Amino acid sequence: MRNYKIDILRGMSILLVLLHHFNIPYKLKDTWLGFDFLGEAFSTLIARNGNYGVTMFFVISGFLITHHTLKRDKQFSAINLKHFYIRRAARILPCLVLLILGVSILGSFDLKPFMNQAPNGIEVSYPLTIFAALTFWMNILIIK
């Protein structure tokens, strides 16, 4: 049974993350959405606190994954870790590959936010960027 209140919270958390990421290259307060629709103070507040959206999304995801796993397997001791991680990979990897493909296409047009450059100004090789994204250690590239 679907809980629409959780869906609303998950949607809000995703929106916070998207606005936060949009704010990095474009500054949300300088767009019509930030200036006219939300107001400068509120858009700045949202853009700077998008990391809370990530935290909220992970908490909700952890709850839902645990809930669905226990509903299927009945108890923790009955969980087959191999099957659990195969199901997780089957759910995550297609979206990740599609995202990498889309970002790669946009990056080929030299669009600033899609180029393989870390926030500290260091240019990262394209194969290393793809490898880091596929192996979930992308954030290590931004460490000085």
Same domain as 70, residue 38:
yes
Same domain as 47, residue 2:
yes
Same domain as 97, residue 74:
no
Same domain as 99, residue 56:
no
Same domain as 140, residue 72:
no
Question: Could you report the per-residue pLDDT of 127-136, keeping only the tens digit for each?
Answer: 877 788 788 7
Same domain as 90, residue 36:
no
Question: Could you report the per-residue pLDDT of 9-52, keeping only the tens digit for each?
Answer: 999 999 888 888 777 767 766 776 666 666 777 777 777 788 88
Alpha-carbon span 132 to 86, nearest angstrom: 20
User: Which domain covers residue 16, as residue numbers?
Assistant: 1-79
